[in-house]
Amino acid sequence: MKKYSYVIGNPPYITITNKIQKEKINMNNKKIMKVTSTIPLLLTLALTACGTQNSQTLTMVEEVTQTDGTRETDTNTEVAADTESPLAQRDALEWEQRLDYSSERQAQLAEITVDLTQDTEEVQSKAQGLLVAMARGNAEAAVDSILTEDWYTVMLSDLLIGQRNYVGAADNGEWRMTILADELGQHCTAIEYPLADGRQFYVQTTDSEIRYYVCAAERTGSFISESLSLTDGTYVGYEGTLSSNNRPEGAFTVHMGTADLSSGAADAFRNRSAQAVSYDGDFTAEGRPETATPEYLSKEGQMAYAFRQEGKNIYYLTMTAEDGNDAFAPVRMGICNIWE
């Protein structure tokens, strides 16, 4: 049987020899290798660390630099703020922002965290659906709540540029949430919620990506992490167990596919895995792949870590020796949050 493989990178390229055609799809310094007797089908896949899909970066402002012209006013505000509740501080600063926006004042707002129960009934009511979904570990319902048309209008009280940080009590600890609209018009909602099994359930939506994970705060034990690009529909999911060294051990599964975005982000996320395929592998307790690597891949410096088989065709996910143990660090699989 003839073997075909082909290489597609970014930008795409194909290398052909007389009887062997090679294909690799780069993903976080990992590659997909395919051995098949059918005609190759091109696929472009671009992923960056921590689930980011080639989008502009949303950042929370953490440092304040004051100019001489605003130092006196800001100092007076800070003195008054010392005696006010976080909610009162936030509302006062947001009112000033509506009258005269400044990045310095926005930095002050970014440092304020409010207990949700202290905010308006409208805000509490709007957040309730999301909190119920998070408590149940329901990613689809959580995303649906965030993607409602008036989510940012209500949760940011009509602010076009703003950031609100909330905390609240849960049955198993404390949850936290950040809602952000920046100067570039980008939006982000991130929420972390403690589940009954001791793991953290994290959901983050931006204009370009939806992702979530369920994992212990220590990045150990069983986990699941999934991301969906709202730019090109690329879907990637990981499932497995992380050792005390924060690396996979035992059974490990990777899901990959392309979702249909034509019916909107919420529908695409609900059906993200409809066209996905799964690759299975195993890792040692030290985090080394146990999947057998074909000789022709070894000669190219590749190491297989997962595979799938369709009839006589075998498809491999591979990494290079240079990738090393860091190829499967939690952050490389999207297990990281906005506050880190």
pLDDT tens for the chain, residues 1 to 340: 433 332 323 333 222 223 333 334 444 445 444 444 333 333 333 333 354 444 334 434 433 334 444 444 454 544 444 568 999 999 999 999 999 999 999 999 999 999 999 999 999 999 999 999 999 999 999 999 999 999 999 999 989 999 999 999 999 999 999 999 999 999 999 999 999 999 999 999 999 999 999 999 999 999 999 999 999 999 999 999 999 999 999 999 999 999 999 999 999 999 999 999 999 999 999 899 999 999 999 999 999 999 999 999 999 999 987 887 789 999 999 999 999 9
Q: How many beta carbons lie within 10 A of that of residue 31, not counting itself?
A: 24
Q: How many beta carbons lie within 10 A of that of residue 128, not counting itself?
A: 12
Task: State residue 325's pLDDT score.
Answer: 74
- Rg over alpha carbons for the chain, rounded to the nearest Å, is 23
pLDDT in tens, 60-73: 443 333 444 444 44
Distance, CA of 107 to CA of 121 (rounded, Å): 26
CA distances from 57 to 12, 15, 79, 149, 245 (A): 25, 34, 33, 23, 29
Buried b (16+ CB within 10 A) or exposed e, 65-103: eeeeeeeeebeebeeebeeeebeebbbebbebbeeeebe
CA distances from 248 to 224, 243, 283 (A): 12, 6, 6
- Which DSSP string do the residues of 121-190 spell out, in sequence order? HHHHHHHHHHHHHHHTT-HHHHHHHHTSTTHHHHHTTT-SSEEEEEEEEETTEEEEEEEEE-TTS-EEEE
Helix and strand numbers, DSSP H then E, in the chain: 8, 16
Beta bridge partners of 328: none
Task: State residue 234's pLDDT score.
Answer: 98
* Contact status, residue 206 vs residue 195, Cβ threshold 8 Å: no
* Contact status, residue 114 vs residue 168, Cβ threshold 8 Å: no
* Contact status, residue 212 vs residue 199, Cβ threshold 8 Å: no
The model's pTM is 0.79
